Structure 1
Amino acid sequence: VFTKVYKEEQRKFMLNTYHKVLAVRHPVLRLISAYKDKFFDILYSQRHNEHIIETYRTAPVDPFSPYVNRPTWLEFMHFVLEHEKSQGDVHWMRYESLCQPCKHNYDSIIKLETIDEDVKDFLRF
């Protein structure tokens, strides 16, 4: 929650006076989106692909498969589960670590899957 952007005093003021909104997404949809976004994007994937493939690939992949040089979904899931805290990425970190909902007592929680309805309720405040 904006930990590096504002000084401690500013953060406290904002947390005590602003209406705090947490936008969430279903965990599986979030992981699918991260996988597509990160591992089908050449620039990002080059940094992680080799490590994930070397660590988690247990069987050879068809040389004509799109997964020859990128992790499969299963390899990605193994990586996420084993590295969620130490090498977490905001795209798959748990909300409890990323947004600290128990610590910050959000005023509203909106789901991206139902954002149209949730925003209507939120805007009534």
Structure 2
Amino acid sequence: MYDHILIDDANRMLFCDVPKTGSSFFKMLWLNYTRGIYEYNRVHDRGVLRKYNLRYLDTYNRTEVQIRLKSYFKFMVVRHPLVRILSAYRDKLENANPFYPAVLGRTIERQYGHVPAGKSKGRNVTFKQMVHYIIDHGPYDHHWTPISLLCNACEIEYDYVARLETSYLDYRYIFSKLKNVHGDNTGLPQSFRAYKGATDFDMVRKYYKTVPINYTNLLIEKYYMDFRLFGYTWNITSLSYGNRVNAYGKEY
């Protein structure tokens, strides 16, 4: 139930670890800033995080859970739901991730691409087909499960909701709340400024033009709570979406 809630007891902070919201980059920064550790490739390894005294909330007993939920600074990082789905598609299926084509790609190709089972490699799934799959089967993979579900957003009263789209300003605010840091890390804000999500506005337009409007509307229904809770918008006609920002966290 709390397997995406990461705890830093030293800083009395609680962070909802959401895939495809820049979580790898964020945890890398967190380890660097609070522990002076550079772990670029294993930030999703629970054993590695545990070594540096970062644990997920599901590893605590009930009393320990309640203490942390009541007294820690709680935050999450969110992203536009439909852009997050596209990011997951590009990373897991389009770019031939070793795991997803074999496990999920073949299923999608057979069901929506009409590729015979013996010929399906799972490496030619279109974005439209993946959207169709999510509509029919539900967004159950944690890379595209609604953030409101992953973060128990209706149960946990978060102190701050950061956005990937405004990460430069949001990350600076969150890191300013830390009680224990390693060194001065004066160059770290430049890392915030340099980071931008890989799925930009033109990319969103390009991919969603391949998806029928009725599919997109059904997808929006699946992620209704994320739209509602986090204030995102979607304009089907122009294929624009809310909270367009530049690298400095300013809307434009």
**TM-score, normalised to structure 2's length?**
0.42
For residue 105 of structure 2, what is the aligned residue in structure 1? Answer: 49
Structural RMSD (CA):
2.3
Cα gap change, 1:18/1:56 in structure 2, threshold over 3 Å: closer, same or farther? same
For residue 102 of structure 1, what is the aligned residue in structure 2? Answer: 154
Identity %: 28
For residue 163 of structure 2, what is the aligned residue in structure 1? Answer: 111
Shift of 1:113: 1.4
- CA–CA separation in structure 2 for the residues paired with 1:70 and 1:8: 45
**TM-score, normalised to structure 1's length?**
0.79
Shift of 1:111: 0.3
For residue 174 of structure 2, what is the aligned residue in structure 1? Answer: 122
Matching residue's letter, 1:113: E
For residue 70 of structure 1, what is the aligned residue in structure 2? Answer: 124
Higher normalized helix content (fraction of residues): 1
Cα gap change, 1:52/1:112 in structure 2, threshold over 3 Å: closer, same or farther? same
For residue 9 of structure 1, what is the aligned residue in structure 2? Answer: 63
User: Could you give the per-residue CA deviations for residues 40-75 of structure 1, whole angstroms, max 9, x where no partner exists?
Assistant: 21222211111111112259xxxxxxx974311011
Contact (CA 8 Å) 2:78, 2:163: kept in 1 or not?
Answer: yes
For residue 80 of structure 1, what is the aligned residue in structure 2? Answer: 134
For residue 79 of structure 2, what is the aligned residue in structure 1? Answer: 25
- CA–CA separation in structure 2 for the residues paired with 1:44 and 1:9: 38
Name structure 2 gaps, 5 residues minimum.
4-56, 116-120, 178-252
Query: How many residues are treated as equivalent by the alignment?
Result: 116
